[in-house]
């Protein structure tokens, strides 16, 4: 299963051509390793062992690219948009990640290159921070840029994760921080009325909810609203046996149905299984599901990544369980 990484994980794995040559590699050996697939070019002059690179999620692979560009970078460019998002550890659900995004001042003469997309925009002093030793846009500015310029699916997953990072303290929500975070983003959007992507930004930020725990939950909520369901309640508590509580990902109160998004990791990731086998996890989930259905008397539908990729696919999955939009 792919692994999640940060800059500290990638830094020793990313090696420059000069570093390889200084450690007993030759130009011919580098070219042969690339040709044979043992060495992965990240950008011109930068490499990773293919075994290390191939085990990364797309966000991690892009982070390696960001790190390589940062090591080559000179001047006042700042990592931004999707590239800043991966520096902040945010998901960038199914976004194209061929180029690193940087923002430069409007008067800059620096142009984009084959693997770098340079955006021209003014950045306030508070919009620029250091993240893992790399200049990048602040979390608030990063979300603002992403929700304006990416697909709605990417935008909502990123906005949800950022709100979660800002407002969840252990298992408790900081409601004051949540209100402050939402107000700051709303003020930023209001100040940019008429700019590119502002209509989408308003729509995505109105839907954003940090209670979503996975990108697939964020995207599922977007698709449910597109299908005509009311905005679902999230992480709904259902009293369980022996004083325990169960939590369900979605409550579609307008059609008396519950929904669960199943990420693949629930059954394949050993850390998530907490020492249980995949079979034991499946049995525990069945018992939990039977209890929830019995207590609520509502339909319960499960779906995964393959079902929420488009509204039509999610609609088909729900319809197979007798759940259809109220209008």
Rounded mean pLDDT, 105-126:
87
Rounded mean pLDDT, 294-301:
96
- Using 50, 70 and 90 to split pLDDT, how confident is the model at 242? confident
Query: Cβ distance 223 to 314 under 8 Å?
Result: yes
User: Locate tokens 């107000």: which residue?
Assistant: 183
Q: Is the pLDDT of residue 190 over 90?
A: yes
Return the pLDDT at 272: 54
Phi (first) and psi of residue 27, to 5 degrees: -55, -40
Rounded mean pLDDT, 231-248:
94
Residue 170 CB partners (closer than 8 Å, separation 6+)? none
Return the pLDDT at 132: 94
d(CA 163, CA 244): 28
Q: Is the pLDDT of residue 274 over 70?
A: no
Residue 279 CB partners (closer than 8 Å, separation 6+)? none
- Using 50, 70 and 90 to split pLDDT, how confident is the model at 106? confident
Query: Cβ distance 166 to 139 under 8 Å?
Result: yes
d(CA 247, CA 122): 44
Return the pLDDT at 265: 53
d(CA 84, CA 103): 10
pTM above 0.75, yes or no: yes
86 CB neighbour count, 10 Å cutoff: 30
DSSP state of 126: G
**Rg of the chain (C-alpha set):** 22
Superfamily of domain 215-319: VSR Endonuclease (3.40.960.10)
Rounded mean pLDDT, 28-48:
98
- Give the 3-state secondary structure of residue 248: strand
């Amino acid at each position: 299963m792919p692994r999640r990484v940060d800059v500290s994980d990638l830094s020793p794995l990313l090696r420059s051509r000069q570093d390889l040559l200084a450690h007993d590699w030759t130009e011919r050996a580098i070219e042969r390793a690339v040709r044979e697939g043992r060495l992965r070019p990240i950008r011109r002059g930068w490499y990773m062992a293919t075994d290390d690179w191939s085990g990364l999620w797309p966000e991690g692979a892009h982070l390696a690219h960001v790190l390589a560009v940062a090591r080559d970078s000179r001047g006042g460019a700042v990592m931004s948009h999707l590239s800043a998002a991966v520096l902040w550890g945010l998901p960038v659900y199914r976004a194209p990640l061929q180029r690193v995004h940087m923002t430069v001042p409007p008067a800059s003469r620096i142009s984009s290159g084959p693997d770098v997309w340079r955006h021209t925009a003014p950045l306030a002093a508070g919009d620029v921070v250091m993240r893992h030793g790399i200049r990048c846009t602040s979390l608030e500015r990063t979300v603002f840029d992403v929700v304006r310029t990416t697909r709605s699916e990417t935008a909502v997953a990123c906005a949800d994760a950022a709100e979660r990072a800002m407002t969840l303290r252990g298992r408790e929500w900081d409601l004051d921080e949540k209100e402050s975070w939402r107000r700051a983003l709303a003020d930023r959007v209001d100040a940019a009325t008429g700019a590119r992507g502002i209509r989408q930004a308003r729509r995505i930020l109105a839907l954003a909810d940090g209670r979503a725990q996975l990108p697939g939950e964020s995207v599922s909520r977007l698709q449910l609203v597109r299908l005509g369901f009311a905005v679902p309640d999230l992480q709904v508590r259902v009293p369980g046996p022996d004083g325990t509580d169960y939590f369900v990902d979605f409550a579609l109160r307008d059609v008396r149905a519950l929904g669960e998004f199943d990420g693949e990791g629930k059954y394949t990731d050993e850390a998530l299984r907490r020492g249980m086998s995949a079979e034991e996890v499946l049995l525990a989930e069945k018992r939990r599901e039977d209890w929830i259905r019995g207590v609520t008397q509502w339909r319960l539908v499960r779906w995964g990544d393959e079902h929420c990729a488009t509204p039509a696919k999610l609609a088909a999955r729900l319809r197979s369980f007798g759940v259809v939009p109220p209008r």
